[in-house]
Structure 1
Amino acid sequence: MRDRRQRGSKARRRGLWAESLAVAYLRLKGYRIVERNWRSKLGEIDILVRKGHVLALVEVKTRGDAALARGAVMGPQQRRLARALGHYLKTRPELAGLDLRCDVVAFAKLGWPIHLLDAWRPEAF
């Protein structure tokens, strides 16, 4: 059991590190950070950013290579994130009129982050 907790702790630290790098990277690209690690009963959103009239949900993924990181956000997680975003927008009605987008910032072991704009389209927010 201890090995499992240690692996989970290591993964959590790696995830927090990747999210911090993603925040810095997105700021350099001109995005304003609206929220970070927003949680509700419906799910967690890693990062919400705004640039102009666009509000983007950003999911951060770290994997061994870029292809795995790109494909890490699949159907069930996409639906959970969309529900969380819908709930978030109900708590922040002033953001409801913005164009919405779902992005992924992917990190592989080596190399720069990959920012996938409009990585998927949720069925509904």
Structure 2
Amino acid sequence: MSRAEAERRGRKGEALAAWWLRLAGWRILARRVKLAVGEVDIVARRGRTVAFIEVKWRRDAAGLAGAIDAYRLRRVARAAEAIAPKFVHHGDTMRIDVILIAPRCWPRRIANAWQPGA
């Protein structure tokens, strides 16, 4: 798959994840926040919880098994720490989530996928 095709599919996955989050009661605060230390695909809030979300899209459900690893989560965590002051207020809970998406499968959310020191 070409780089452009991978980018197009990634954007489609992020759009589907944002739609799915909205249906679950989350408010999307930002999308595709890129920094030198990493990138956050979606920043979302529900109540007092702010989630910094990594979205992974694969061709099939089998490809989702290895879609996320500690390296990728660390990059998301570093980016989330850098932008947290803009989105997280006193008393809020902050977490890193992952949403895995493949055609003909319901999105799978891994809530609180990254713990500091993990």
Unaligned 5+ segments in structure 2 are none
The aligned counterpart of 2:13 is 18
The aligned counterpart of 2:70 is 75
The aligned counterpart of 2:116 is 122
Give the Å deviation of 1:72: 1.9
Of Structure 1 and Structure 2, the greater helix share is in: 1
Distance 2:114 2:66 in 1: 11
The secondary structure found in structure 1 opposite 2:104 is: coil
Contact 2:30 2:43 in 1 (8 A): yes
User: Of 59, 62, 66, which residue of structure 1 is paired with 2:61?
Assistant: 66
Say what the alpha-carbon RMSD is for the aligned residues: 2.1
Aligned residues: 118
Distance 1:103 1:70, change over 3 A: farther
2:83 pairs with 1:85: no
> What amino acid is aligned across from residue 34 of structure 1 in structure 2?
L
Contact 1:27 1:33 in 2 (8 A): yes
The secondary structure found in structure 1 opposite 2:2 is: helix
Structure with bigger gyration radius = 1
TM-score normalised by length of structure 2: 0.87
Give the Å deviation of 1:8: 0.5
TM-score normalised by length of structure 1: 0.82
Distance 1:61 1:94 in 2: 24
Distance 1:74 1:66 in 2: 16
Give the Å deviation of 1:24: 0.6
Distance 1:113 1:56, change over 3 A: same
Distance 1:77 1:63, change over 3 A: same
Contact 1:45 1:84 in 2 (8 A): yes
